[in-house]
Structures are given as C-alpha cells and as structure tokens.
Amino acid sequence: MRTGPVVKFCSVLFLIVCGMAGTARAFGVEDVGTTSAAFLKLGSGARSEAMGEAYVGLADDADGIAYNPAGMAQNLSGELSASHALWFQGLSFDNVDAMLSTGDGGMLGVDLDYLSTPQITRTLLVGDGNNPDPGQNYVDDGSFTPYDVAAALAYARPVGYGLLGGASLKLIDQSVDTDSSYGLGLDLGLLWRAPITGLTLGMSLQNMGTPIKLDTEAFDLPFIARAGAAYRLLNDALVLSAEGDLPQDGSPVLAVGAEYDIADRFYPRVGWRYDDEFNPWTLGFGLRYGGWGLDLSAVPYGALGMTYRASLDWRFGGPTAELGARQAYASTLGSGKAVVLNAGTTAPDQVQAWAVYIYDSGRPTRLVRVLGGDGPPPQTLDWDARDQAGLPVPEGRYWAVLSVRYAAGQSADSSYLRLEVDNSAPTAGLSLDPASLNPSAAGEAFVPTGFRTQVTSTGAVVAWRLDILDPGGKVFRSIDGDGAPPTLVVWDGKGDQGDELVSAQVYSARLWVKDALDHEGTSPAPVTFKAVFRWGTAQ
C-alpha cells in the first residue's frame, strides 16, 4: 500500500471534519422542519446508500447525479438505472436515473424521483365540531394518496486541469389530496481528479431554488452543501470515501464508506453516517455481469425500523481499446526486426494505465511479455520478439491484446491480434513457362520468354527481382517490383539499355525475394536456356 496517498487521504478527511465543525453554527437542529420537499434528501441508488451516502467525491455512476452532477463526466459509457426503496411506515421511494454521452466529452443525465405514502382517509368536520363524543365530530369522505415527484435534467463536462463541472435543474411537485405545489431547484457540482493517483475531491450545492407553497405558507427547498473525497487503491479494487454535509434544516453530517471489488463480479460495501440522530451503520453489496448490475442495501433507523433498497442498472456503449499492427512480423536474427503495433483508446486523456499482453499460441497459452505504463498508450509501440527476461522467443504464432484502465475505474480490452515471429528466409523457385519452350530443340526458349515463379514465406514478401544474365554472367536485364512477384513474368528479350539479345546464345535467370523482416531468398540455381527467335520474327 502506498503510505503517502493514504496519509493525504486521511488529511483530506480531517479537513472535511474540521470544516464541518467550524461552520456548523450556520444551521442547526432548531431549523428542523423549516423546509419543504424533504424527499430530495433521500439519495438515489443502493450502492451509495450502502456506502453511507459518502458519495459526493465518488459519484461515478448514474446514481451519482443525486449527489454531485459533475461526477457524470468521469464516465465513458451510457447507463440506465432504476431503484426501489422500502421505508418504514409503508413509505416507498423510487428512482430512475440515466446518462448518455453527448460525444464532445460531455454527459447528459436524467433523474426521476417518486415518493409515495399509504392511503390516508379524508375526513370532514360535522357541524361546529363540539359534540361531546369526539368520534361524532368527523365523518369519512373517501381517501387520498400524497406523493412527491421530482424530475431533473443534468449536464457535466471536463473544464480543464482535472476539474469536472456539472449542474442539474429540477422540477418538483408535491401533492396532498387536491392541493399541488410546484417549484424549481438547482444543483451545482465540482469534482477534481487530484494529482495523487486514485484520489478525487468533490463538492456540491444542492436544492437552491424557489420556495414551495402549500396552502398559504411557503417553505424553502432543503438546501445542502456537500464536500468529500474518494480514494481508489490496491489497483482500484478498494474504494474509500468520506463526506461532510451541511443541511439547512438539521445538524451537520459526517459519512464514510468503503467498497471492495472481488473478481469484477462481487462488491461488498459498508458505511457509517453520523447525523446526530440515527447514526446508522449501512451494509450492502453489488453483483455485476457484463453490462448488468444489481445492488442491495440495508439501513437501520432506530425505533422507526429497517429500510431496504434494490437497484438494477445497465451500462452500454462503454469505452473501447483497439490494437492493430503496422508490421505483424518479428525476427530475432542479426540486429532483429520488431513488431510495430498501433494502439488506440476512447478518451485517451482519461486513461489511467495501459498494458499490452503477449501470449504464445500453445495449449495452454503462456504469457511471454507485458508492455505497459501510466497514462494513455503511445500511438505506436514495438515488440522485439523477446520475453520478459529479455531472451528471444521461439519462432511461431503469438497473440497480443491491449488493456486500458480509466480514471473512473472502467476498463476496456481490444480484440486479440495475431503476430508471427519468423527467423526463416523465404524460398524462391523459378522455371521456364512451358509455352516458351521450343518443342523441336531441347533447352531452347523462344523470345518473348515466360518465367514461372514460386515463393514460400512465413511473412509478407515486400520486394522481388528477376535478373537475366548474358552468356558472360553479367546482368543483362532486371525486372523488379514491390510485394510478391506475379506467377508469370514475361521477358521481351531486350536488355536494360534496350539492346537486343544475341539469338542462339545461352542466357540464364535467377529470382530474388525479400520479406518484411528483411530476410532474403534466391532461387537455388539459375535457369539456363538458349534464347532463340521464332521463325519469321525479326529482332
């Protein structure tokens, strides 16, 4: 464990606590019950609740919109989340949250909250209400179901220097029997990726807006100032979070939480929330499979009873990693020739670390080399066909995959890329085309003369050359090209300078090829032939 960052994280927590203590006099218990729309303080998903709602410095999923809208900009994928909470006294609270990338680094989010209560019997006053029997002063007149609804539209984006900003505009509706009242609220949030790897700091100001008026009296929205930190360690497997809240209508709150990632499948969570009233320990866990996640939490509220919350989410359009090869072959002969890889990622400015894993093609496969580093991968990188110990690997087929980890804890893997290590030179074969042979005289070939080529190479052939030698063994004509040679190469009988051959003289030909690794091969023996003109052909 890195001692320095842990100490700094604890220092951040200490500063939050001191700040809360220093400003606690601004609000207090004497303000309890002086605000409206209290349901806006009930949070969002089961994950945040299981972590004691210490979420303003984390807020890395759609549920985080309710704590710090700026946190959305940490994400590279869209998400849809729904949760249902069973509260005491028959209350139920439902959330639907969604976020989607706008394609320019920004994220757009939606948050819908609905609080419902059991039906309440409506009563009417009988007469002047002075009947000695209290039960005769009122009569039942049906029932009604009070409810509270909030709909929010949020936006977040990076603003530079590791800072993310976000805002959320809310439309609030409170209904009691036949009376309804509406209000507008605004949340503002900031989140900063600190220079300390894994540390994020967040703050938000929530529920600033218009008072809500029921009957003749208006009440402010429940303003809350939040500040906190989150720290990822143990290769992002462990998340610690801390938060301090200053609610307008209550005592200051301190919350801490923790989450541990087991095999990217199981996430146990624990939290504690000191609010000078219930001070509950919170518990929960999450399960993930592919893009799907299920989260559960349980929170006790003293004599009021237990509360439970379940959340289901789907993440889509996640970050990607791509790995290609400008040259997919390598050699360890001589000075060697390296594989040249091309790496690409979604949002490289948000990549925290990367690694290219190279495996052999055996059964089972074996990891032979790891190339990696912090930050985004370079656009091109080389593998010199050596293993982790610096020793040349055997000839054969290998596979490479790029894995990247983003600052928000998301990761992405590329498809596997096939590589070849080839220390063998290509082989070249050359023969006269049967159509060029003189059937009446063995060893004679008519001009123009055709040559058949045969090339065998593990790697790609990048160049070839056919040399025609005169009777003295000097190069009379060279025909060359890029890539592999054509199956049939035709010589028109002329030299490089346009000079004519001498009929009935013995000429020879040889084929040279080179592959992408600079391995060269030549036909083993020159093809010898007597060049003659066909009857009636003037040369």
pLDDT of amino acid 31: 54
When mean pLDDT is compared across 4-18, 172-186, 352-366, 433-447, the lowest value belongs to 4-18
| 11 pLDDT more than 60 | no
Mean pLDDT of 422-441: 92
Instruction: Using the structure block, give the residue that is written with the tokens 């359009």.
Output: 317
Question: What integer is the mean pLDDT of 6-19?
Answer: 48
pLDDT at 15: 52
For the chain, give the percent of residues with pLDDT over 70.
Answer: 87
Identify the pLDDT of residue 358: 97
Q: What share of the chain is helix, strand, coil (3-state, %, to 5)?
A: 10, 55, 35
The reported pLDDT for the residue numbered 219 is 83
Write the DSSP assignment of 371-417 as a string of letters: EEEESSPPSEEEE-SB-TTSPBPPSEEEEEEEEEEETTS-EEEPPPE
Joined together, the tokens standing for residue 506 give 């013995």
Query: CB under 8 Å to 216, separation ≥6 — which residues?
Result: none
Tens digit of each residue's pLDDT (9 = 90 or more) over 75-123:
888 999 999 999 877 788 999 999 998 877 789 999 999 998 877 766 6
Phi, psi of 105 (to 5 degrees): 95, -10
Domains, the chain, in order of start with CATH, read 3-316 (2.40.160.60), 321-421 (2.60.40.10), 427-533 (2.60.40.2550)
Q: Calculate the alpha carbon distances from 313 to 45, 95, 306, 495 in Å.
A: 10, 11, 24, 75
pLDDT digits (tens, 9 = 90+) for 238-282: 999 999 999 998 889 999 999 999 988 999 999 999 988 888 899
**Cβ–Cβ under 8 Å, residues 57 and 13:** no
pLDDT at 217: 79
Q: Is the pLDDT of residue 345 over 50?
A: yes
Among 22-36, 188-202, 381-395, the minimum mean pLDDT is found in 22-36
pLDDT at position 118 is 77
For residues 475-480, give the mean pLDDT.
96
The pLDDT assigned to 13 comes to 47
Give the model confidence (pLDDT) of 432-449 as tens digits.
999 999 998 999 999 999
17-31, 131-145, 242-256, 500-514: range with lowest mean pLDDT: 17-31
Binned at pLDDT 50, 70 and 90, residue 409 comes out as low
Q: Which residue has 């032939």 as its token pair?
A: 529
What's the pLDDT at 91? 85
Query: What is the Cα–Cα distance from 186 to 168, expressed in whole angstroms?
Result: 6
Task: Please say if the pLDDT value at position 537 is more than 60.
Answer: no
Do residues 459 and 453 lie in contact, with contact meaning Cβ atoms separated by under 8 Å? no
Q: Which of 231-245, 312-326, 406-420 has the least mean pLDDT?
A: 406-420
Closest CA to 210 of 180, 153, 171: 171
pLDDT mean over 417-426: 91
Dihedral sign (CA 13, 16, 18, 24): negative
Q: What is the pLDDT of residue 538?
A: 40
Q: Which pLDDT score is estimated for 535?
A: 63
- Which position has the higher pLDDT, 182 or 350? 182
Which residues 6+ apart lie within 8 Å of 119 measured at CB?
A: 143, 144, 145
Mean pLDDT taken over the chain: 87
Q: Which comes out higher in pLDDT, residue 2 or 528?
A: 528
Distance CA 527, CA 539 (A): 23
Q: What is the pLDDT of residue 526?
A: 93
pLDDT surpasses 90 at 539 = no
Q: Judge whether residue 195 has pLDDT over 50.
A: yes
pLDDT per residue over 82-91, tens digit each?
999 998 777 8
Tell which wins on pLDDT, 399 or 134.
Answer: 399
Per-residue pLDDT band for 22 (boundaries 50, 70, 90) equals: very low
Name the pairing type of β-strands 444-447 and 527-533.
Answer: parallel
**Plot region of 37 (φ>0 → left; ψ -120 to 50 → alpha; else → beta):** left
Distance CA 80, CA 45 (A): 12
Residue 397 has pLDDT above 80, yes or no: yes
394: pLDDT strictly greater than 60:
yes
| Tokens 């990822």 found at | 232
Percentage of residues in the chain having pLDDT higher than 90: 60
Q: How confident is the model at residue 143 (pLDDT cuts 50, 70, 90)?
A: low
Q: Residue 54's pLDDT is what?
A: 97
For residue 34, what pLDDT is reported?
65
Give the pLDDT band (50/70/90) at residue 66. very high
What's this model's pTM, rounded to 2 decimal places? 0.65
- List the structure tokens of 198: 């894994």
pLDDT band at 536; cut points 50, 70, 90: very low
